[in-house]
Amino acid sequence: MSGSIKTDYFTSEQELAARFAKAMGHPVRIAILELLNSQACCYHGDMADELPVAKSTLSQHLNELKEAGLIQGEITPPSTKYCINRENFNLAKTLLNKVLN
């Protein structure tokens, strides 16, 4: 089979673990998760002050983590408040721990 992947070969757990791993595949995203995990919530503006990236770049990283379900956002103008999605964060820990053990 050149270039094709059997989609029914992988379990939903494997696909989800890969999605979480892909979303965490950048040091800025790891730093975001560590920052959010260390407190109840964090505003986007605060993170831009804490991390060495431009606000637009930070926004892209936040969107990737949000799309993967690892964080959730709440719009409170003029900022967006981001928090860890505890259920998915714990699921990611479980799935990735299973892969790494």
pLDDT in tens, the chain (101 residues): 456 666 678 999 999 999 999 999 999 999 999 999 988 777 776 788 889 999 889 889 999 999 999 999 876 767 778 899 999 999 999 999 999 99
Q: How many domains does the structure of the chain reveal?
A: 1
- For residue 57, the enclosing domain spans 12-100
| CATH number of domain containing 85 | 1.10.10.10
Q: Is residue 65 part of a domain?
A: yes
For residue 78, cis peptide bond before it (omega within 30 degrees of 0)? yes
Specify burial of residue 2 (Cβ count, 10 A radius: 0-12, 13-18, 19+): exposed
What predicted TM-score, i.e. pTM, was given to this entire model?
Answer: 0.84
Q: What is the distance between the alpha carbons of residues 46 and 30, in angstroms, rounded to a whole number?
A: 16
Q: Is residue 85 part of a domain?
A: yes
* Alpha-carbon span 6 to 53, nearest angstrom: 39
46 lies in some domain: yes
* 1 in a structural domain: no
